[in-house]
Structure 1
Amino acid sequence: MTATNSVEFPDVFATFRHPLRHFRQSLTGQRKTRVVALGSSSTAGANDIVAFPARLEQKLRKANLNFGCVIDVLNRGVGGQEAPDEISRIESDVIAEQPSLVIWQVGTNAAYRYQAYSFDEVEATLRNGLLWLARLPVDVIVMDLQYTAAIVEAKDRMERAEDMQRRIERVTSTAGVNLFRRWELMKSWCAAGVLLSALDDGHEDRLHMSEAATAKVSEVLARAIMADPAAPADC
């Protein structure tokens, strides 16, 4: 088995298509920069594994060590939710915090609990949410599904996950919003020799990411944000 910490990540997973201008401006002009992570259990955290927002905060702070610059990543994840549930929290959990960057994690529960969600509704809600955020001085990154056994080893869920992937790609492309391709990233680990079983946390549902996978996803996300061509080297 290849350990996840030995995998070399392709550059395509460490860059974004669109510059993070508002995030950059906050780093250069504000003492405190806020990032809000909106999503489900991948964001909130599950099974005693530290979720990506706290890890991302640590990495962004380490990368911007100049005196007086503070970067906070606020965790606004709620387990079991999907875009139609989360959009009702945008005003209170996102806009009220006045972030310069929003990371919206979507898609997993639509594929995992597909009887509970209309894919058309999830797609439309994501589109409308991005239109809402586009009117604000904030950059947005959409994070897609995790590649774990609960979805990959169930044919019906796998087919729906791939459908959801296409929908997320279509919405973000049309909206001109950056997409963090977690699904393709984790899939590439398996192609590089990582066992699928190493990507989940070992709990019965085999849905949530393992400690190692969460750490690596956080690392690649931080690299993508810090590699933003519009971002300064430090604040």
Structure 2
Amino acid sequence: MARALDVKRLSLVRLALTSAVIVLALGGGRALAAEPERPASQPQPTPPVPAITRECQTPAGVKTAPIPLPNTLRALQQRKKIRILAIGGASTARSGPDRGGFQEVFERIIEGAIKGLDVEIVNRGVSGELVRDAKERLKVEVALTQPDMVLWQVGTSDALARVPAQEFETHVGDMVRWLRAHKVDVVLVGIQYTRSLAHDPSYQAIRRAVRRVAQREGVLRVGRYEATEALERVRQGRQPTPPDPFATTEGSYACVAQYLAQAVTLGLFARRVEPRRQRPPNPAPAPAPEMAPTPPRPLPLPPKGG
């Protein structure tokens, strides 16, 4: 009898434990009910856009549309590090502490603007290289470095070599589409400014071709020509004209770096605005069916003999 009671008591204990496990699994326990709900993750605040220093300000400013950079933003969110492949080369070899051009200045500015960001710039520029020669090399560099963004100084060498603008535009457009298809953002840095070629048709045709590619493919373009031209107008009379028509002062490189950092920051946090779907216009009311004209009534005949 006692043994039967013990077996029954053990069965009841097992049943109670099983019920408790089921209740906890379904979230009905007090411990789960008392746990406060975790707040929904808040979107990270947009960092302040890097300011343009007084030395780099122009009356009209440097206008750059906020073009989204989705692949670079993904890298920023996932690992707080972005890798940039810089290609293209200046027309003159540079020496001294500013040998790296505006890329080094850009790196410092963008890291200071976005807290915790680590920027790695892989410089693979070749001075004097034409776009048609750079295409295959660029594909190899992308495979080797796996960049999130390509920073492409493009156009000056082709313009000086008198490459036809249509040929140049085709090569650049093909390469931009290839990069985007391989999940790489593109930033085009336009041709250099020089007074001696301000009215040269071939040089200006390449300048316009870079702009057209950027607009057509929807990629970010920094108008280095326009910015440097505006800076020179502001600085006229402050310093002697450099003997080399392509010699760009260290201050101009720093300004281009500021414009680039501002444009990239805007692009990283720009929200893609979907075009509004236009409602189809209300159909015009159908024309009323044409009624057959009523035949005129015959006139009464006059009485005979009248």
Using the size of structure 1 for normalisation, the TM-score is 0.80
- Which one-letter code corresponds to 1:130 in the other structure? V
2:94 is matched with: 46
Q: Larger Cα Rg: Structure 1 or Structure 2?
A: 2
Question: Between the two proteins, what is the percent identity of the paired residues?
Answer: 26
Partner of residue 236 from structure 2, selected from 191, 195, 205 = 195
Determine the C-alpha separation between the residues in 1 that align with 2:102 and 2:232.
Answer: 20
Partner of residue 212 from structure 2, selected from 170, 174, 181 = 170
| C-alpha spacing 1:14/1:35, structure 2 compared with 1 (3 Å) | farther
Q: Helix, strand or coil for the counterpart of 1:19?
A: coil
- Is 1:71 the equivalent of 2:112? no
User: How big is the shift at 1:129?
Assistant: 0.4
Cα displacement string for residues 194-224 of structure 1 (whole angstroms, at most 9, x for unaligned residues): 2399698x4x542142111111111111111
Query: Which residues of structure 2 form unaligned runs of 5+?
Result: 1-52, 272-306
Q: Give the conservation status (yes or no) of the 8 Å contact 1:112–1:150.
A: no
1:213 is matched with: 252
Whichever structure has more helix as a proportion of its residues is 1
Q: Give the conservation status (yes or no) of the 8 Å contact 1:41–1:80.
A: yes
- Is 1:13 the equivalent of 2:55? no
Determine the C-alpha separation between the residues in 1 that align with 2:121 and 2:156.
Answer: 22
Cα displacement string for residues 98-117 of structure 1 (whole angstroms, at most 9, x for unaligned residues): 11111111111122232xx3
Q: Give the conservation status (yes or no) of the 8 Å contact 1:103–1:143.
A: yes
**RMSD (Å) for aligned C-alpha atoms:** 2.8
Q: Give the conservation status (yes or no) of the 8 Å contact 1:24–1:231.
A: no
2:165 is matched with: 119
Cα displacement string for residues 155-175 of structure 1 (whole angstroms, at most 9, x for unaligned residues): 5xx322211122112222111
Partner of residue 109 from structure 1, selected from 153, 157, 180 = 157
Using the size of structure 2 for normalisation, the TM-score is 0.63
- Which one-letter code corresponds to 1:212 in the other structure? G
1:131 is matched with: 177
Q: Helix, strand or coil for the counterpart of 2:235?
A: coil
- Is 1:55 the equivalent of 2:105? yes
Partner of residue 85 from structure 1, selected from 133, 140, 149 = 133
Determine the C-alpha separation between the residues in 2 that align with 1:38 and 1:199.
Answer: 31
- Which one-letter code corresponds to 2:254 in the other structure? A
Q: Give the conservation status (yes or no) of the 8 Å contact 2:130–2:158.
A: yes
1:96 is matched with: 144
- Which one-letter code corresponds to 2:107 in the other structure? E
Query: Which residues of structure 1 form unaligned runs of 5+?
Result: none
Determine the C-alpha separation between the residues in 2 that align with 1:149 and 1:197.
Answer: 17
User: How big is the shift at 1:79?
Assistant: 0.6
| C-alpha spacing 1:35/1:197, structure 2 compared with 1 (3 Å) | farther
